[in-house]
Amino acid sequence: MPYIFGIGSLIEQASRMRTSPTAMYVLPARVRGYARGWWARTGAVGFSPTFVGAIPEKSASLNGVVYAVSDEELAATNKREAGYTPTDITKDVEILTGGPVPKGKVWMYVNDFTKGKPLKDSLPTAQFPIVQSYVDICLTGCLQIQQGFPDAGNFAVEFITSTQEWSKYWENDRAYPRRSSLRCLRLHGNFPLRSRSKVDCLCLAMAYSFHSLNWPSSLSQQTAVLELLRTGVGNPQQCRLRGGPGRVATSQETRVHPRAELRSQP
């Protein structure tokens, strides 16, 4: 039986089950030797989001979920993740709850960059921004894991701090998600207000924890996220996202959440 290691929208249950209806249950896991970052594009013409992807990087690690799929579901996910390369990462998987790695190959979707197609040309831009609706899905999935697997630690913060190339090109598209698949998930109501508040708190911690939107490698700065969430900033009743959809960031907004300003309610 094949398995998939999901690192982005595949972490979230409704998003995952859109292509793998049997994949309700997952195991939280970590893979070493790969880095996650904002450098995946669909190749669509015109405005399109930048998504998270993965590349080999010996000193890095990333968290995600492992789940079983049928051969048909694997083929459907390969089609969904067109533009990525299915990669066998079975030997690199660590189950965060301490259990054994499932028997069978574990596949992760990896980006391939070359001299003719370098990574730097796939980073977020004004035309290919990070979009809040996609961040919402990824972090909602992380919060689902935290609720179901307390032993997995602060899964959402690990997702944030292990993801590279956060950018000033970040658009609040919650009202009108850019992609039809994101609109479909909204219509099915899988993003309740409580989850939205928690996601806003995570984003607020991001904005106030760092002097720029380039995520630091130092442990002390990463720990600042945990500290902010541990104190009052982490209260879901005190956080919200403001700023209209599609609002363009200015060059002066490099120290806050661009295109969708974040603030704490009084």
Q: What are the tens digits of pLDDT across the range 155-178?
A: 998 999 899 998 888 888 877 776
Identify the structural domains of the chain with CATH numbers, from first to last.
Answer: 3-264 (3.10.490.10)
SS3 per residue for the chain: CCEEEECCHHHCHHHHHCCCCCCCCCEEEEEEEEEEEEEECCCCCCCCCCEEEEEEEEEEEEEEEEEECCHHHHHHHHHHCECEEEEECHHHEEECCCCCCCCCCEEEEECCCCCCCCHHHHCCCCCCCEEHHHHHHHHHHHHHHHHHCHHHCCHHHHHHHCEECCCCCEECCCCCCCCHHHHHHHHCCCCCHHHHHHHHHHHHHHHHHCCCCCCCCCHHHHHHHHHHHHCHHHCHHHEEECCCCCCCCCCCCCCCCCCCCEEECC
pLDDT at 227 over 70: no
Question: Residue 256's pLDDT band (boundaries 50, 70, 90)?
Answer: very low
- pLDDT tens readout for residues 167-220: 888 888 877 776 655 444 443 344 454 556 677 777 766 655 443 444 445 555
